[in-house]
Amino acid sequence: MKDKIQSLQTQFAADSKNVDDRMAIQELKTKYIGKKGLITELMSSLKDMDKEDKKTYGQLINQVRTEFVTVIDEKEKSLAQAELDRKLQEETIDVSLPGEKIKRGSLHPFNRIIEDVEDFFVSMGYDVVDGPELETDENCFQRLNVPLGHPARDAQDTFYIDEEYLLRTQTSAVQARTMQENKEKTPIRMICPGKVYRRDDDATHSHQFGQVEGLVVDKDISLADLKGTLELFAKKMLGENTKVRFRPSFFPFTEPSVEVDVSCFKCGGKGCTLCKQTGWIELLGAGMVHPNVLSMGGYDPKVWSGFAFGTGLDRLAMFRYAIPDIRYLYTNDVRFLEQFARKDEENVIK
Amino acid sequence: MLLSRKFVSDYVDIDVDTKTLAEDMTGIGNEYDSCGKLLPVSNLVIGKVVDCIAHPDSDHLHVCQVDIGQETLQIVCGAPNVRAGLKVIVALNGAVLPGGIIKKSIIRGQESNGMLCSMAELGLEHKFLTEKDVAGIQELPDDAPVGQDPIAYLQLDDEVIDFELTSNRGDLLSILGMAYEIGALYQKPVKEIDTTFAETKDDIKKSFTLDVQTDKCPLFLVKKVTNVTIKESPDFIKNRLIASGIRPINNVVDISNYVMLETGQPLHYYDADRLGDRLIVRMAADEEVLTTLDHQERSLTDQDIVIATLDGAVGLAGVMGGLTTEIEEDTKNIIIEAAIFDSTTIRKTSKKVLRSEASNRFEKGIDPKRTYLALLRSCYLLEKYADATIVGGMVEHKNMPIEDKVIPITVEKINQILGITLSKEEILTIFDRLAFTYKEQDNTLLVTVPTRRTDISIAEDLIEEVGRIYGIDKIVGKPMILPVKPGYVNKDKRYIRHKLADLGLNETLSYALISDKDVYQFTDQQFKPIKVLDPMSEERNTLRYSLLTSLLSIYRYNRARGQKDIRLFEIGKGFYALGDRYYEETKLSILMSGQYWTGLMSQKIDFYILKGILEELLDSLGFQQRYSFVAKAHPDLHPGQSASISINNQIIGFIGKIHPAVEKEDVYVAELSLDKLLAMRVKGMQYKEISKYPAISKDVAFVVDRSITSEMLEKTIKKAGGHLLTSIRLFDLYEGEHIAADKKSLAYSLTFQDMKRTLNEEEVMTIFDKIIHSVTTTYQADLRDK
């Protein structure tokens, strides 16, 4: 019996040696450990032996069977692994090929600036207000302390529609509206970004351009508050190191009025072509709301004070994106537009 | 405003250089455009031509020996008037002239060490040059000192600042006003102006009549001088006029301009013998004609003020004099007018006729005290430099108060508005510097503002003065403390813009003004276009109604530059008038043409790609299942490929292919009224329970007439399906050889599900059969696979 078992082991070793496909493994299984296999056959040949031998050889055969099962299992496992490896190999792709994505469109630099300005002021409690582009002379000029025949009208050559209506020359027109429309005469904190129109067209002027107007009406507002606000605004729009300078100026709807310069963001104030060697760039007009404007808006200037400011959106866009000519903003060359197809960098101010 | 340093130095001492002055003036609110020497030249000396012989190789050049004091230079000169003995202006080697740098050179074999100069070559503006100045080199007087600086000798060594003044500071359009401003800046007193002269014992009032018939002339003063000598002005007058940008003419005319520059009060001199003994100030008659000094015939209206005699107008008040009473070479006796006219009226007239130095000053407002001053200063200078005899007395029409304003203000108010803490003493020092006087009354300062400061009338104006002189930039910015409140911004438009950019469209920014020819493009609405009264060009004379007009021209611009895949959108306003009211409406417009790219793949843009983008947009805005696209012809669109877009039966826009007669390429457009769309209410997003039970899907394909729309079928399916039918998805559209030519096949995947239990096949089949029955009977449809 012992010899039989040994020869079976030798036979299995020889048979299993070169087995490497699924079919051969199955055959091996059937031949040795199948229901009618050689192990079963050997086991059944024990039935005529005595109890002691039965037990001894039975154990031995079972041991051999376990050996065979282990060998076959391993064969199966490694075969499965090889098959998987082959499959994975076959499925390998070129990851450098472009992904399936919609070709992204773009957002116009002008509107990108508006979003930034809006977000900044909304974070400080300002409301964003909209106003009509077709305005009345009354809102655009008269209620801003620019009566008919006032020389300040010369600075803004106006597109008139008729005697009463015009294309607004400044978003300041929304100041007058906001004060009038606030029937409860509660404090005001608002900005109004939008389009304005003037009869003027060259490399630095477009007959249509953008402005944002800001207005605060409250109690005990001062020029120092205005400066603090514009310092933050300038840092947000042009960079953390931006400084702000006030120069006295004149606007009919503010008194005192200031011209607001910012330190040149390109040269850091050392002087360059952008700032015409002065280190400063004129950015905003601002001032304390003129008492006449407050009165006309229904706010008693003895009780209320406030500041207003205005700046050009096109210039801000030109500064941020290094656009050399205002007309590029309005030409809409697709090759220009497509350059504005990603997220803006966030300028965090402390 | 050109400020001559020499001129203003007559009235205030300046210790700083001109550039510093310009910068410091900017610091107190008076910006300048440029600043520099009147003549931008260097390295010139006075020389004497000691020898002058004809150039051996030229028919017009001369070889000169020029004594410049230290040495004698050989200089070749081509001027016709060069000759031995002449005192000349020599530009030495290295001299910088407006025309270039002078270098040692050989001219036709003769060495030349410099250049003899004409006035024209020194950079004097053309309008100031006489024929003599251009024709030849400048001939200096015989006593000109050889070796010295000729510019200083000619008193042209002046420096000029070109100020860009704000429109409220009319007072700075005068040397005196500038002197007060500079005085305030550097704490210097302003010097007296000399107005002393002798008068005859006559009284002009006895011989001259003034008749002011309009309230647009509140002040009118007249004096008379006799026996003037018309001649060239002294150099200092000429040079100061030149530095101020005014061409010298003769001593009398120059004096009137000189006084205007000094005082800011424009004057007019009439030839008394041509004028007669009467002046009338009145509004012009409609179409009254006047020939002005520049020989132009002007047609006037009743909105213009004229100065007249009984024979008609002799001057357009505040703007320009008339030709008939002009000062001429033979003028002996002069009537001097010093007056104030209504600034608005002058502004209108000058806008129509001519902007002059005079009208500019009248428009900005005149200090009435200066009217008197200018008249007297005129007499002083005419006596001194034109040998005039001044007739006694003055004719005066005065219909205005001439008083200094007194404005009450408190220290607290000044500090509150400026956001600083100045002491009372500091504030009073500033008023002293401005030469404003004041009194204290309890806690209030009563500040007296001189009439010259026409721009100051309320406390805030005074606060600005304090801020200006203190240094407005010294104010330290502070964080504004206001109650916390949320700021509000409507982000709908922003959402739409970002969505469309993500879907592959490029945002544009176009002009609202277009040509009136295009205003009815893409619309059949009845409205009146809105035109501007004074357009810059015919191309931009009308406000657009549709933004598509702009997008189409942007498309063409890009197409002409080789771009084919063009996908554009813009949110902006369209404008129109109905009756006598104007309207503006915010619109979203889209234009697409070429290929729509996804990675390596692209698809030719067609109606459905654009429609898909709009559906995606509307779905994402919360309008799922509320909108419909209905075939509808639209102006300038393809009649078979255009549709209206409605929500809840209200049309909010349209979509379609541009008509081939308008654009031969395949271009697809859509326009929505955002005002209408965003006014519609959308339900808030709320979680809906997800069924725990499995869904069953069934596919079906119907063959129907091509005229039957998918929307119609879906409605019928939905109605027949009831509440267990949870989704209908079209997955195939087929037209072609396997079915009849006038038919199409639409295949749908239908999903059935219940919230409370698992559906069985049987009940789903019952509903499915009901759907098939309903569709086949309603639309005479066949099932495709049967």
pLDDT tens, B521-549? 999 889 999 999 989 999 999 999 999 99
Same domain, B180 and B255: no
A180 touches chain B (CB under 8 A): no
Do B555 and B512 fall within a single domain?
A: yes
Q: For position B8, what pLDDT does the model report?
A: 97
Asked if B455 and B541 sit in the same domain, the reply is no
Express each pLDDT in B359-392 by its tens digit. Answer: 999 999 999 999 999 999 999 999 999 999 999 9
Q: Count of CB contacts below 8 A, A vs B?
A: 243
B194 lies in some domain:
no
Given B420, B475, B508, which is nearest A332 (Cβ)?
Answer: B508
Based on the domain organization, do B623 and B535 belong to the same domain? yes
CATH of the domain at B613: 3.30.930.10
The verdict on B259 and B369 lying in the same domain is yes
What's residue A192's pLDDT?
97
- Quote the distance between the C-alpha of residue A267 and its chain's center: 28
Percent over 70 (pLDDT), chain A: 97
Rounded to an integer, the average pLDDT of B619-645 is 94
Sheet containing B627-631: give its strands across: B506-507, B566-578, B581-593, B667-673, B650-658, B637-647, B627-631
- The minimum CA-CA distance between B689 and chain A, rounded to whole Å, is 32
| Element (DSSP H or E) covering residue B358 | helix B357-364
Spatial strand order in the sheet of B209-212: B209-212, B278-283, B305-309, B312-316, B320-321
B126 domain-assigned: yes
Contact B554, B527 (CB under 8 A): no
Q: Given a cut of 80, is residue A69 above it in pLDDT?
A: yes
B358 & B236 share domain:
yes
Whether cis (ω within 30° of 0) applies to the bond prior to A256 is yes
Residue whose C-alpha is closest to residue B489's, from A118, A210, A217: A118
Q: Quick one: tokens of A82?
A: 């090889």
Q: Provide the percentage of residues in chain B whose pLDDT is more than 90.
A: 86
- 3-class state of residue A145 by DSSP: coil
User: Do residues B631 and B712 both lie within one domain?
Assistant: no
Identify the pLDDT of residue A19.
83
Does a structural domain hold residue B487?
no
CA distance B492 to chain A (A): 12
- The predicted structure's pLDDT at residue A154: 65
Q: Closest by alpha carbon to B27, among B187, B190, B185, B173?
A: B185
Q: What percent of chain B has pLDDT over 70?
A: 100
Q: Do A127 and B489 touch (CB under 8 A)?
A: yes
pLDDT at res. A112:
96
Domain that holds residue B499: 492-679
Residues B144 and B234 occupy one common structural domain: no
For residues B188 and B20, the answer to whether their CB atoms sit within 8 Å is no
Q: What are the two backbone dihedrals, phi and then psi, of residue B75, each rounded to the nearest 5 degrees?
A: -130, 130
pLDDT of residue A347: 78
Residue A203: its pLDDT value, please?
66
Dihedral sign for Cα atoms in the order B346, B352, B358, B360: positive
Q: What is the pLDDT of residue A350?
A: 66
**B684 in a structural domain:** no
Contacts of B458 in chain A (CB under 8 A): 255, 291
Find the CB nearest A256 among B463, B503, B536: B463
Give the pTM. Answer: 0.85
pLDDT score of B443 more than 60: yes
How many helices (H) and strands (E) in chain B?
21, 42
Average pLDDT over residues A155-172: 89
Q: Which of residues 186-245 of A touch B (CB under 8 A)?
A: 187, 189, 195, 197, 199, 201, 207-208, 216, 218, 220-231, 244-245
> How much helix, strand and coil, in percent to the nearest 5, is found in chain B?
30, 30, 40
Q: What ipTM does this complex have? A: 0.86
CB atoms within 10 A of CB B242: 22
Helix (H) or strand (E) holding B240: helix B235-243
CATH number for the domain spanning B140: value is 2.40.50.140
pLDDT of residue A50: 87
Q: Please state which CATH number belongs to domain A109-337.
A: 3.30.930.10
Position B123 scores a pLDDT of: 85
Place of tokens 């007739």: B391
Tell me if B725 is assigned to some domain: yes
Question: Does some domain include residue B215?
Answer: yes
pLDDT band at A155 (very low <50, low <70, confident <90, very high): low
Per-residue pLDDT band for A182 (boundaries 50, 70, 90) equals: very high
Q: Token pair for residue B206? A: 């006895």
Q: Is the pLDDT confidence value at A54 over 70?
A: yes
Among B460, B497, B540, select the one facing A290 at the smallest CB separation. Answer: B460
- For chain B, report the end-to-end CA distance as a whole number of angstroms: 94
Mean of the pLDDT values across residues A125-154? 89
The string of pLDDT tens digits covering residues B264-288 is: 999 999 999 999 999 999 999 999 9
* Alpha-carbon distance A231 to nearest alpha carbon in chain B (angstroms): 7
Virtual torsion, Cα B374, B380, B384, B385, nearest 10 deg: 20
The reported pLDDT for the residue numbered B164 is 93
* Ranges B370-379, B385-394, B595-604, B760-769: which has the least confidence: B595-604
* Domain match, B278 and B315 both: yes
What's the CATH number where B430 sits?
A: 3.30.56.10
Q: Cα–Cα distance between A152 and A172 in angstroms, integer? A: 14
Phi (first) and psi of residue B472, to 5 degrees: -65, -25
Chain mean pLDDT for chain A: 91
pLDDT, tens digit, 9 for 90 and up, residues B203-229: 999 999 999 999 999 999 999 999 999
Calculate the CA B587 to chain-centre distance.
29
Is-contact A211 A194, C-beta < 8 A? yes
**Structural domain count, chain B:** 6
Interface test with B, best of A94, A96, A100, A107 (most B CBs within 10 A): A107
B510 Cα to chain A: minimum distance (Å): 5
The C-alpha atoms of residue A53 and residue B369 are separated, in whole angstroms, by: 146
Can you give the pLDDT at residue B48?
95
Contact B501 A106 (CB under 8 A): yes
Is the pLDDT assigned to residue A265 strictly greater than 90? no
Among candidate residues B361, B266, B351, the one with its CA nearest the CA of residue B304: B351
List chain A residues with CB under 8 Å of B536.
199, 201, 207
pLDDT in tens, B1-17: 999 999 999 999 999 99
Which structure tokens are listed for A144? 């801003």
- The sign of the torsion formed by the CA atoms of B419, B423, B429, B431 equals positive
User: Which pLDDT score is estimated for B148?
Assistant: 94
Over residues B110-162, the pLDDT tens digits come to 999 999 999 888 888 888 888 877 888 999 999 999 999 999 999 999 999 99
Q: What is the pLDDT of residues B404-442, one digit of tens each?
A: 999 999 999 999 999 999 999 999 999 999 999 999 998
CB neighbourhood size of B232 (10 A): 12
Q: Is B550 in the same domain as B623?
A: yes
The residue assigned the tokens 């010097």 is B191
Of B169, B487, B533, nearest to A126 by CB-CB distance is B487
Asked if residue B685 belongs to a domain, the reply is no
**B645 with B627: CB under 8 angstroms?**
yes
Q: Is A79 exposed, middle or buried (0-12, 13-18, 19+ CB in 10 A)?
A: middle
Residue A151 reports pLDDT greater than 90 = no
Distance, in angstroms, between A299 CA and closest chain B CA?
16
